[in-house]
Amino acid sequence: MTDQAMPALYLSHGAPPLVDDALWVSQLGGWARDLPRPTAILVVSAHWESAPLTIGSTVTGTPLTYDFGGFDPKYYRVTYRSPGAPDLARQVAALMPDNEPIAEQPSRGLDHGAYVPLTVMYPDADIPVLQISMPTLDPVRLLHLGERLRPLREQGVLIVGSGFTTHGLPFLRDWTPNAQAPGWSAEFDAWASERLAAADVDALIDFRAKAPGMPYAHPTIEHFAPLFVTLGASSNPEQVPTQVIDGFWMGLAKRSLQVA
């Protein structure tokens, strides 16, 4: 057990080319260096939806899941041979309700929502990593999942919800890294920032009805959903999250935050 509970994070993880963005790499790397060193990392990514809750590979060196297409071949040669986390997998299972089933998928490696940010945050790949599926897109149920996982923070586990604050890919017209944010992206991001600063979890839960820029900001909601795991893992739901990264990449909001 560590002397200090780890925070929980929500990261806008980006596509694989985001690692070529010097600003994001600087921001994310600096953030990681300011954190206590985790004993292990638990990731819930927008790119793995599976019910019931499913536990991924627990062995060292499982191949990554290159769940994307059309990119430069170099992005398919990335490796991240982090240690497996079988003890963490057992802890996660023990924290779930007795009447809810849990599945295992031992062959499933980390997807890009997990390994892309970790290659920047912990490039030595020397911290055990476990990925679990996102078993629902319902914000309230994901808050409850975060609450279940909260005790892991006292063991030094870094809980990471990995998505993107806006993700309206079908509506982008400029795919260059420094593209101006479309109105729907900027408006949704500003609203999310305000609601986070007010610790207004109720409004965030109802983002599909209340947030400007919808449904363009999230024509499907899996990239905003991991936020609720992070918020649920907070030790105090009324505490205002610390918004560490903001701004845009390809016009999408890369706002990222941590809760204590």
Helix axes 139-149, 86-95, angle to 10 degrees: 120
Residue 50: helix, strand or coil by DSSP? coil
Q: From the CA atom positions of the chain, what is the Rg in Å?
A: 17
Specify the pTM: 0.96
pLDDT tens, the chain, 260 aa long: 445 799 999 999 878 999 999 999 999 999 999 999 999 999 999 999 999 999 999 999 888 999 998 889 999 999 999 999 999 999 999 999 998 999 999 999 999 999 999 999 999 999 999 999 999 999 999 999 999 999 999 999 999 999 999 999 999 999 999 999 999 999 999 999 999 999 999 999 999 999 999 999 999 999 999 999 999 999 998 899 999 999 999 999 999 999 99
Encode pLDDT of 37-71 as tens digits: 999 999 999 999 999 999 999 999 888 999 998 88
Domains of the chain in start order, with CATH, are: 8-259 (3.40.830.10)
Nearest to 255 by CA among 15, 7, 27: 27
